[in-house]
Structure 1
Amino acid sequence: MKKSLRIIISAVYFFSLFISLSVNASPQEWQKIKRPISGEPTPIGTYSNGCIIGAKALPFNGDGYQVIRTSKNRYYGHPEMISYLQDLGKKIKSRAMPDMLVGDIAMPGGGRFLTGHASHQMGLDADIWLRMGRLSTRDAQDPAGMGLLVVDRKARKVIDSLWTRDHETLLHLAAQDYRVARIFVNPAIKVKLCETVRGDRSWLRKLRPWFGHDSHFHVRLTCPKGASYCQNQSPIPVGEGCGRELYSWFEPAKPSSTKPKKKVIPEAPILCQQVLSAPNRSEWLD
């Protein structure tokens, strides 16, 4: 009976969204949302073009973790992400490691950021900093954060004096969870792990090289079961990812004879547009 009732309520809710007038889903509109959008947890669209209904806030402090840059109001995620981060924190605490610092997850309604991220739009992405250890409340609120740069950007190598076994263990624990689709790390960090990890190396497959990510890594979860409006990214290649493709990131950029294309921001999914003009939108706006 309860399950049927939830289905009916959800159907009525989504119908009310579709019949409302559409508005332009600009980044400015998503910044205005200060509280989660009421409804069953529903990630909509893709990681870089979507939104979320029913997001949950990650408590600022928990076992083995602390949320930082809290003044930016980007600590909301799908319940699966919140559960994942709390589970990871408990694993860290059980190993007597320094607390992990959780950065941006998503805004209360997800959506496109004005600055800082192309993804993090469905509450299924989270940044975990490579600086470890709890901060003061004041420092945790600092929007600039207090990052630890572990890669020499000029030499494009990990700084051995800053890299610790805890970093490797943190990434290992983060990647082991079945909910993780991939983790973005700086190419130099991936090289470091490819060269040093012993024993089980299967988790290296989930670590994907990407620009930046030299003071934090970026965890991306798969779409939760039953999330029919959520689109997964293409599967990652087989293997550890320690071969030719990884080292291609260090090759000089090839000159191009064509002019770079102007970046076009895609139109948000229709359902996300409808969210912004829903009749009850005042519940989650300023």
Structure 2
Amino acid sequence: MSPRPILTLLLLLSVVASASMALAQDRGSVNPKPLPPLANPNDPKLGAKELFGRKVLPTAMPTRVVGFYAKGCIAGSDALPINGPTWQVMRLSRNRNWGHPDLVKLVERLAAKAHKDAGWPGILVGDMSQPRGGPMLTGHASHQVGLDADIWLTPMPNRQLSRNEREEMSAVMMVRSDRLDIEPSTWTPTHLNVIRAAAQEPTVQRIFVNAAIKKALCREAKGDRGWLHKVRPMYGHDYHFHVRIKCPPGSGECESQPEPTASEGCSPGDLAYWFKDAIIHPKPPKEPPKPRPPMTLAQLPPACKAVLNAPDARQ
């Protein structure tokens, strides 16, 4: 195998590993405090997450996607408004409602489709990206280039949520306690409608869900099933689904992920791995794993240094 596919595989595995530890349901803060200044921001061993996590505004640059979903940054990102006719942004204290303009437009379309096709008042939007992308202080390994968004599997209430609710309420668990199937008291046919609408968008490359949710989609999808191949099982994602779009046209510095196979991914063999007892109930390691050193600025594509240091866009 050539070095390039190996690198891509390692990056994808890092996304998998982080997904099981995703902090999507962690509460935010109604009154977040600014992060303290860094004592030595030029330290070459400093994690890039410390640098990108302190940028509260996007760059005053044309839109530019640099690198891979789990190793990159974005210039000229747009913010998804925190309130829309059919969406509301959650965990405002994280400042992660940023993305490529194509992603922002996609989320707005999905919100309208959830209202029209599923009868939801709208959607609740979790993490997208930071203003300049890059590694995050908490949570995801991906979401670095403004092309990923988390959509809660809890319909938006038919009212505007308070700031307190946006920081503290949790999405509803969709997976049964034994981890083998969906929770029938919370999963409804409308959830399939919302995920299908996302998967049928031409620019969407992948959707990540818990394996139990993939199993339910395979069982319940009727008629055209051509969208199912985009929906991939992934650790975590019990409360939300993760939408990933392709590298936008003209984004020559964006590193695309291989297209998913054409198979529905619904055969017993496709799903068997995810329902092994060792996967559902992993045994704790005999020795705690040593924490990996954080990704540094030097390990990101070189253009990310210019993105990091560019002037702030006017708001």
TM-score band w.r.t. shorter chain: 0.7 to 0.9
C-alpha deviations, 1:8-56, integer Å up to 9, x for none?
A: xxxxxxxxxxxxx997662111111001111111111110011100000
The answer on whether the counterparts of 1:223 and 1:230 sit within 8 Å (CA) in structure 2 is yes
Runs of 4+ in 1 over 3 A off after TM superposition: 21-25, 252-256, 259-266
The answer on whether the counterparts of 1:55 and 1:123 sit within 8 Å (CA) in structure 2 is yes
Give the superposition deviation at 1:263. 3.6
Give the superposition deviation at 1:200. 1.1
SS in 1 for 2:154: strand
Pair 1:83-2:105 in alignment: yes
The answer on whether the counterparts of 2:78 and 2:100 sit within 8 Å (CA) in structure 1 is yes
Question: 2:302 maps to which residue?
Answer: 270
Aligned partner of 1:100 among 123, 126, 134: 123
Equivalent residues in 2 for 1:35-74, closer than 5 Å: 35-74=57-96
- The whole-number CA distance in structure 1 between the counterparts of 2:276 and 2:116 is 41
- The whole-number CA distance in structure 2 between the counterparts of 1:122 and 1:72 is 16
Give the superposition deviation at 1:189. 0.3
Pair 1:248-2:303 in alignment: no
**What RMSD, in angstroms, separates the aligned Cα atoms of the two structures?**
2.6
SS in 1 for 2:186: coil
The answer on whether the counterparts of 2:69 and 2:143 sit within 8 Å (CA) in structure 1 is yes
TM-score under structure 1 normalisation? 0.83
Aligned partner of 2:170 among 142, 146, 159: 146
SS in 1 for 2:151: strand
Aligned partner of 1:216 among 234, 237, 240: 240
Equivalent residues in 2 for 1:1-286, closer than 5 Å: 26-95=48-117, 96-134=119-157, 136-142=161-167, 144-243=168-267, 244-253=269-278, 263=292, 265-266=294-295, 267-278=299-310, 280=311, 283=312
SS in 1 for 2:229: helix
With over 3 angstroms needed to count, the CA separation of the structure-2 counterparts of 1:155 and 1:85, relative to structure 1, is closer
- The whole-number CA distance in structure 2 between the counterparts of 1:155 and 1:87 is 31
SS in 1 for 2:257: coil
Return the letter of the residue paired with 1:248.
Answer: Y
The answer on whether the counterparts of 1:64 and 1:91 sit within 8 Å (CA) in structure 2 is no
- Choose 87-96 or 196-205, whichever is displaced more: 87-96
- The whole-number CA distance in structure 1 between the counterparts of 2:73 and 2:153 is 27
Return the letter of the residue paired with 2:114.
Answer: I
- The whole-number CA distance in structure 2 between the counterparts of 1:61 and 1:91 is 16
With over 3 angstroms needed to count, the CA separation of the structure-2 counterparts of 1:202 and 1:77, relative to structure 1, is same
Give the superposition deviation at 1:260. 7.0
Return the letter of the residue paired with 1:109.
Answer: R
- The whole-number CA distance in structure 2 between the counterparts of 1:276 and 1:54 is 11
C-alpha deviations, 1:134-186, integer Å up to 9, x for none?
A: 351224530x5421101024343211111111101000111110010000000
With over 3 angstroms needed to count, the CA separation of the structure-2 counterparts of 1:78 and 1:54, relative to structure 1, is same
C-alpha deviations, 1:30-89, integer Å up to 9, x for none?
A: 111001111111111110011100000001122321111112110001000001011112
Question: For structure 1, which runs of at least 5 residues remain unmatched after alignment?
Answer: 1-20
- Choose 94-103 or 22-31, whichever is displaced more: 22-31
C-alpha deviations, 1:79-108, integer Å up to 9, x for none?
A: 000010111122223333231111100011
Give the superposition deviation at 1:187. 0.3
SS in 2 for 1:112: coil
Question: 1:5 maps to which residue?
Answer: none
SS in 2 for 1:83: helix
Question: For structure 2, which runs of at least 5 residues remain unmatched after alignment?
Answer: 1-41
- The whole-number CA distance in structure 1 between the counterparts of 2:128 and 2:262 is 27
The answer on whether the counterparts of 1:183 and 1:218 sit within 8 Å (CA) in structure 2 is yes
The answer on whether the counterparts of 2:48 and 2:294 sit within 8 Å (CA) in structure 1 is no
With over 3 angstroms needed to count, the CA separation of the structure-2 counterparts of 1:185 and 1:36, relative to structure 1, is same
TM-score under structure 2 normalisation? 0.76
Identity of aligned residues (%): 39
